[in-house]
Amino acid sequence: DGGITQSPKYLFRKEGQNVTLSCEQNLNHDAMYWYRQDPGQGLRLIYYSQIVNDFQKGDIAEGYSVSREKKESFPLTVTSAQKNPTAFYLCASSWALYNEQFFGPGTRLTVL
């Protein structure tokens, strides 16, 4: 089945630790995105990538890092510099920046 997978569904980490969230797609999409969702707020763009080996900061990139070494993978690292990392993280992909985005099931990160 074609789609976007995010793992794990729930993730717990201690404060001060870096953590990497996985996002994989087998839709052959060029563009991939990471969003953060907090209660009472809509999704906010963290990073996006139009093509392999290229990525751009979104609206709230501070404290996060990404890589795009393979077309199908776009991992997000939440670093210790992120002041409030507890949130729901959604990954998405699309054929190109101007096409419909398809979303993964999300990862709930809790920092203790």
2 touching another protein, by CB under 8 A: no
Task: Mark residues 33-52: x for contact with another protein by CB under 8 A, - for none.
Answer: x------xxxxxx--x----
> CB-wise, 13 or 44, nearer to another protein?
44
95 touching another protein, by CB under 8 A: no
Whether the CA torsion 44, 50, 53, 54 is positive or negative: it is: negative
What is the spatial distance between Cα 14 and Cα 25, in angstroms, rounded to a whole number? Answer: 28
> CB-wise, 2 or 98, nearer to another protein?
98
Residues engaged in binding another protein (CB under 8 A): 31, 33, 40-45, 48, 58, 88, 90, 92, 96-98, 100-101, 103, 105-106
